[in-house]
Amino acid sequence: MTALPVPVLLDARQLDRNIKRFHQQVADASCVTRAHLKAHRTTELAARQVAAGAVGVAVHSAQAARDLAAAGVTDVVLAWPWREAWRWPLYVGAAHELERFAVHVDDADVITGLGRVAQADGIQIGVRIDLRHTPADDVLKLARLAEATAGVRLDGVTGYRGPETAEDIKDFALLGRRHAEDVVAVAESIRAEGIDCPVVSVGGTPTAPGALEVDGITEIVAGAYATLDAGLAAAGACELAEVAISVDGDRADLLVDCGQPWDPESVSVPVDGRLLPGHVCPLAVNLMRSKVEVTVVDGGAVVDQWLPSGRPDRE
């Protein structure tokens, strides 16, 4: 990595190599990649991932979805099951600006309320049942309700099971495979009811290889695959030399809380006078809060600067 005296460096060539490799791995399994904004919180990188073959982007707010629409991204999923009714008109507004828009749900009132608001505005919004938060006994009830509710369509089911402990990370591929099997089984139970369940989505950069071994998975949602980080390298999910982002050695303050869940104390690894983040997602949050730009370099030359944002929704 080029050593420039700037707070945060992103090596564009390594970034593109990481993106290409991950997208190819997913495509080889007849799946698609959805890039998650949380790993970097920049519209520019999300658009770059889509241009390189990602089917779309996952976000946590309708405002972030609209920012991506303005940047030319046409397919966005709001990947958190917010329940507040004030958000529903915001979802409708985002849906009008995108060719395809879906939201995570785990509650019947959200399905009926969102459907009512969307139908009144003459639009249909996809809903994905979020298995992280939905009791197993409620999944079929929500699927039936989504199918019967005007203004929404059942887009599919989605789940996430990332490594949380040292034991998890010992065999992250196995973790991904077992979780994917569970999500596929849920999708099959919905289809057994005669209900269409087109998308079967699971998340995670390290768990993707295991998930891709399971027939029936249609989409991998991941964010860290573009930049990678030192925590993933330590776990054996990548090489340290493949990490595309680094922090100036004098800006260790930007790496607060950047340890992985299974290794919270290891927030960085020093390489050539710079620090590689242990976990890239918290770094993105720190940059957003500190209003620190990412300097993008290509072959040692500065080519751009990106300011992480990922704006939240407001009532």
Gap between the Cα atoms of 218 and 106, Å rounded = 20
Residue 237 pLDDT: 97
Domain boundaries defined on the chain: 17-222, 230-306
Phi first, then psi, for residue 30 (nearest 5°) are: 60, 35
Give the type of residue at 159: G
Residue 1 pLDDT: 47
Count of alpha carbons within 13 Å of 179, Cβ hemisphere only?
28
Integer distance in angstroms from the first to the last C-alpha of the chain? 43
Q: Assess contact for 303 and 296: CB atoms under 8 A.
A: yes
Q: What is the mean pLDDT of each run of 10 residues along the chain (315 residues)?
A: 80 98 98 98 98 98 97 98 98 98 98 98 98 95 98 98 94 97 98 98 97 98 98 97 97 97 96 96 96 96 94 92
| Stated length of the chain | 315
Gap between the Cα atoms of 201 and 218, Å rounded = 6
CATH superfamily of domain region 17-222 = Alanine racemase (3.20.20.10)
Q: What is the pTM of this model?
A: 0.96
Which helix (H) or strand (E) covers residue 69, if one does? helix 62-70
